[in-house]
């Protein structure tokens, strides 16, 4: 029968030793690989840039397709930072040449000799904490370097990332969204990275959807031309379609985890670990850890591993734990929230990219025009997603809450966000009328800053579940 997973993940790190049992990670080599690829980005990118003479293209939000299709290396800039890499991950990587990542059981045996078990127990939580510490650090860098204090956490962090490492990239790929603060931030990158490639998404006021699509298609073609000039490669319909195919498969696996696995009454791991996996996917999906094919292999393997564990009954019965959607998180959130909910008997799900339409597939066929298809994808995402009107946005939240069959919704209200954060009253009312499930709101400014208020708020919220 299923292995036992200790329910007491700690809040502060001093009592987290039992957070994830070894067995929980033995078969999760794909997650470990993804974590490693995220954290070891700096060395990987250096190799690409200096040895292979590849061009690094900074991207934010999951807009990496054009850079990949042009033979460039997209990078979510935080990955150029030096991270403290968990010893266990380092060991796995150094042994992989000898044993291969998949032979994890043998590696665990190997690890045992060095008493690495404690490290194994905490590895994923450690990874998330490491990334968060860096986010906070870069948020501070952003503030110290003059970004307006009115901006949201996400924008300040992104600005800080470019202040810190922007000089290492060859260009930024700026895809505008319908959030004026974000577009202002993109403008400000001029002073940090010499080359900017713009894909301007026309405002909806143009009215005629055909015209809007035509303008956007043209804007994308221009951006592709600039990418070609930088990378020295020619972008063909084939190279675009090849990238879209990879992206579509990644999105399918991502949705399988978000919907199919998360709906299961039996999880392949501790629900807090599951939330961490969703969080890791959310962050790394933006640039596919700079290697789309490798990312596809990892995520497909992850789905396989999860299904196998569920089939074998390895994991945890979660049928009695209410499913809680926590959103939006893409502009910043406190991952401690998932721990708090878990301690209070619930399980947290994240689905931001699907809410924003960024997990929609891009049609690929012989007769399609890939540039136009990409334009359609971007238009769709920005008309129903980021920064669009409150009515459309709340409908998107509602649609996903329904699809996920969640028992409750926590809305994460971001300080400084004027595009999304003010839709909570409308969302609350719609959920009350149609889904009749509890909702609550928490406030976020910086990781670690508001934990006490979150605990109090969620304590009352979780009492609403039988």
Query: Among residues 62 and 387, whose Cβ is nearest to ligand SF4?
Result: 387
Query: Among residues 156 and 347, whose Cβ is nearest to ligand SF4?
Result: 156
Closest residue to ligand SF4 using C-beta atoms: 331
Task: Give, to the nearest 10 degrees, the angle between helix 29-39 and helix 271-284.
Answer: 40
Q: Is residue 419 involved in binding ligand SF4 (CB under 6 A)?
A: yes
- What is the spatial distance between Cα 162 and Cα 169, in angstroms, rounded to a whole number? 9
Positions in 180-199 near ligand SF4 (CB under 6 A):
181-182
Looking at the chain, the number of H-run helices and the number of E-run strands are: 19, 10
**Which one of 59, 92, 155, 329 is in contact with ligand SF4 (CB under 6 A)?**
155
Q: What is the DSSP string of 211-275?
A: HHHHHHHHHHHHHHHHHHHHH-----HHHHHHHHHHHHHHHHHHHIIIIIITT-SEESS-HHHHH
Name residue 160's beta-bridge partners. none
Nearest approach, Cβ of residue 412 and ligand SF4 (Å): 10
Q: Is residue 157 involved in binding ligand SF4 (CB under 6 A)?
A: no
Query: Among residues 44 and 333, whose Cβ is nearest to ligand SF4?
Result: 333
Contact residues for 101 (Cβ-Cβ < 8 A; gap 6+): 29, 32, 33, 92
Query: Among residues 44 and 185, whose Cβ is nearest to ligand SF4?
Result: 185
- Options 97-105, 141-149, 417-425, 458-466: segment touching ligand SF4 (CB under 6 A): 417-425
Q: Is residue 240 involved in binding ligand SF4 (CB under 6 A)?
A: no
* CA 112 to mean position of chain CA atoms: 32
- Options 14-22, 131-139, 147-155, 368-376: segment touching ligand SF4 (CB under 6 A): 147-155
Q: Which helix (H) or strand (E) holds 400?
A: helix 390-404
**Three-state SS for 12?**
coil
Nearest approach, Cβ of residue 171 and ligand SF4 (Å): 21
Nearest approach, Cβ of residue 156 and ligand SF4 (Å): 9
CB 371 within 8 A of CB 297: no
Structure tokens belonging to residue 179: 């959030």
Q: Is residue 423 involved in binding ligand SF4 (CB under 6 A)?
A: no
**Which one of 381, 414, 423, 447 is in contact with ligand SF4 (CB under 6 A)?**
414
Q: What are phi and psi of 405, to 5 degrees?
A: 50, 50
Q: Is residue 358 involved in binding ligand SF4 (CB under 6 A)?
A: no
Q: How many residues contact ligand SF4, by CB under 6 A?
A: 13
**Which one of 154, 157, 160, 370 is in contact with ligand SF4 (CB under 6 A)?**
154
Nearest approach, Cβ of residue 157 and ligand SF4 (Å): 10
**Three-state SS for 13?**
coil
- CB-hemisphere CA count at 13 Å for 465? 22
- Options 106-114, 174-182, 276-284, 441-449: segment touching ligand SF4 (CB under 6 A): 174-182
Query: Strands of 408-414's sheet, edge to edge?
Result: 347-349, 323-327, 408-414, 439-444
Q: Is residue 387 involved in binding ligand SF4 (CB under 6 A)?
A: yes
CB 411 within 8 A of CB 327: yes
Determine whether 56 is exposed, middle or buried from the number of CB atoms within 10 Å of its CB (0-12, 13-18, 19+).
buried
Q: Is residue 152 involved in binding ligand SF4 (CB under 6 A)?
A: yes
Positions in 309-348 near ligand SF4 (CB under 6 A):
331
Positions in 62-121 near ligand SF4 (CB under 6 A):
none
**Which one of 220, 417, 431, 447 is in contact with ligand SF4 (CB under 6 A)?**
417
Q: Which residues of this protein are in contact with ligand SF4, per CB under 6 A?
A: 152, 154-155, 179, 181-182, 331, 386-387, 414, 417, 419-420
């Amino acid at each position: 029968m299923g292995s036992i997973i200790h329910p007491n993940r700690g809040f502060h790190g001093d009592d987290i030793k039992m957070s994830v049992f070894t067995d929980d990670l033995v078969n999760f080599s794909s997650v470990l690989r993804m974590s490693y690829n995220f954290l070891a980005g700096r060395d990987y990118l250096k190799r690409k840039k200096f040895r292979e003479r590849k061009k690094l293209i900074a991207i934010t939000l999951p807009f990496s397709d054009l850079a990949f299709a042009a033979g460039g290396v997209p990078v979510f800039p935080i990955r150029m930072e030096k991270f403290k890499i968990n010893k266990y991950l380092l060991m796995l990587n150094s042994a992989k040449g000898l044993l291969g990542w998949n032979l994890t059981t043998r590696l665990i045996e190997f690890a045992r000799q060095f008493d690495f078990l404690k490290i194994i127990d905490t590895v994923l939580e450690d990874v998330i904490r490491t990334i968060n510490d860096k986010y906070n650090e870069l948020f501070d860098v952003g503030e110290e370097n003059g970004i307006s204090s009115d901006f949201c956490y996400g924008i300040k962090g992104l600005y800080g990332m470019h202040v810190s490492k922007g000089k290492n990239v060859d260009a930024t790929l700026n895809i505008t969204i319908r959030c004026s603060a974000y577009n202002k931030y993109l403008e400000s990158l001029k002073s940090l990275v010499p080359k900017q490639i713009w894909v301007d998404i026309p405002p909806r006021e143009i009215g005629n959807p055909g015209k809007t699509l035509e303008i956007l298609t043209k804007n994308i073609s221009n951006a592709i031309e600039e990418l070609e000039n930088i990378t020295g490669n020619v972008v063909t319909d084939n190279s675009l379609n090849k990238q879209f195919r990879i992206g579509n498969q990644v999105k399918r696996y991502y949705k399988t985890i978000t919907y199919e696995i998360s709906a299961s009454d039996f999880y392949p791991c501790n629900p807090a670990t599951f939330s961490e996996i969703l969080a890791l996917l959310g962050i790394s999906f933006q640039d596919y850890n700079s290697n789309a094919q490798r990312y596809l292999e990892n995520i497909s393997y992850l789905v396989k591993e999860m299904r196998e564990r569920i089939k074998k009954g390895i994991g945890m019965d979660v049928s009695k734990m209410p499913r809680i959607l926590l959103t939006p998180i893409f502009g910043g959130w406190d991952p401690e929230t998932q721990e708090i909910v878990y301690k209070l008997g619930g399980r947290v799900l994240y689905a931001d990219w699907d809410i924003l339409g960024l997990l929609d597939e891009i049609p690929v066929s012989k007769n399609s025009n890939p540039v136009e298809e990409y334009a359609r994808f971007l238009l769709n995402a920005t008309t129903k997603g980021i920064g669009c009107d409150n009515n459309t946005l709340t409908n998107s939240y509602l649609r996903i809450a329904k699809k996920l069959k969640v028992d409750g919704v926590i809305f994460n209200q971001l300080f400084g966000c004027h595009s999304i954060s003010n839709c909570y009253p409308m969302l609350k009312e719609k959920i009350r009328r149609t889904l009749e499930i509890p909702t609550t709101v928490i406030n976020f400014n910086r990781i670690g800053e508001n934990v006490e208020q979150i605990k109090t708020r969620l304590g009352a919220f979780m009492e609403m579940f039988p």
